[in-house]
Amino acid sequence: MRLRNFVRNEEMQFSPIQINELVRNVAHLVKAEAHWQNLPLKLELHGPLPDTLGDRVLLEQVVLNLVRNAIEAMQQTEPDKRKLLVSTSMPDENHIQLDVSDTGHGITADNLAQIFDPFFTTKSDGMGMGLAISRSIIDAHGGNLTARTNQEGGTTFSFSMRVDNTERNHDS
C-alpha cells in the first residue's frame, strides 16, 4: 500500500530509522530464501550508526529488492562461489551508506548505464520497475543509489543517505 502511495506521489511517512535494524529485519525476511538457494548471507554492520529520517516501509522495500535481485543474480553461479554481503558504513560524518554485493553474473557496461531506467530489464520475466522505483525512493529521501561491477565478478548496489536530515521539508 505504501509503495502504491509513493508511486502516486502521496506523502511519505518519515520517522527516525536505525539502518542496521532495518537491514537485520530484511535479512530475517530473506533468510529462508537464501538458505534454500544454498547462499550464505553475510551482514557487516558498522555501528553504532546515527539515525536517519525516512519512510521505514519504503526503505525496507528498497533493501529487500536489492537483496532479492542479488539472490536471483547468483542462481547460475556455482554454489561454492555464491556470496551475498550486506554492509553498512559511515563514509563521512554526514552520511550513512548501505552496500549489497553479490558474486553473480554481473552487469555489462551497456546494461549498467540503463539499469535504473524504467522498463529496462535483463530478466526474461522482469518488468524493469524494481530498480527504477528503488532509485526514486532513495532520491525522495535525499540520497543516491548507484551500481558498479565488482572486480572479482558480480555487482554492488550502494545507497547513501544524509544523517542529519531533520531540516528536510517533508511536504515536498
Nearest CA to 115 among 56, 158, 64?
A: 158
Query: For 29-75, how does the pLDDT look when each residue is reduced to its tens digit (9 = 90+)?
Result: 999 999 888 899 999 999 899 999 999 999 999 999 999 999 999 98
Residue 78 has pLDDT above 90, yes or no: yes
Stretch 79-91: mean pLDDT, rounded?
A: 95
Q: Which residues contact 53 (CB under 8 A, 6 or more apart)?
A: 14, 15, 16, 17, 165, 166, 168
Among 26-35, 50-59, 92-101, 114-123, the minimum mean pLDDT is found in: 114-123
DSSP 166: T
Q: What percent of the chain clears pLDDT 70, i.e. is strictly above it?
A: 84
pTM of this structure: 0.87
Among 80-84, 123-127, 166-170, the minimum mean pLDDT is found in: 166-170
pLDDT of residue 140: 94
Q: What angle is formed at CA 157 by the lines to CA 6 and CA 119, rounded to 5 degrees?
A: 50
Q: Which residues contact 106 (CB under 8 A, 6 or more apart)?
A: 73, 149, 150, 153, 154, 155
